[in-house]
Amino acid sequence: MGEPTRRERRLYSAVLKAQGRPSGRSRTGGRLEKLDSAARRILAKHGIARHFTHSTGHGVGLEIHERPRLGKGEPHACEPVSVVTVEPGVYWQGVGGIRIEDTVLVRPEGPEILTPASKESWVIS
């Protein structure tokens, strides 16, 4: 609540870039670990990768968290017509964190974002 600091705006912008890169690259045949590393590279460029402590995303289906996993060392490729989350986030103990998430339909012709909510920041006073 309240006006974000300059640092908080920079951090949000970094996470937004990290979230958008894998979302736009999610297509059939793409390696899942490459989607994760795309997000990590952006966060590293902004000096906050060490605060990203989970995978970039996971499959959505019958369970809340299921395969495929968009994470380090995941050797599998995106399957046609699968649904995954793309949700990088950074967290600071005792402070809080930033996570931006989309649910993405992976298709041969490219990704379809199923959760097209605005990602513009807004202030609650």
Token pair 């870039």: residue: 17
Cβ–Cβ under 8 Å, residues 70 and 87 = no
Asked if residue 25 lies in contact with residue 38, where contact means CB atoms within 8 angstroms, the answer is yes
6-113, which class in CATH? Answer: alpha beta
Can you give the pLDDT at residue 24? 65
pTM over 0.85: yes
List per-residue pLDDT tens for the chain, 125 residues long.
Answer: 688 899 999 999 999 999 987 666 666 677 788 888 999 999 999 999 999 999 999 999 887 778 888 888 888 887 877 889 999 999 999 989 999 999 988 888 888 899 988 888 777 87
CA distance 76 to 69: 9
Query: d(Cα 22, Cα 24) in Å, to the nearest integer?
Result: 5
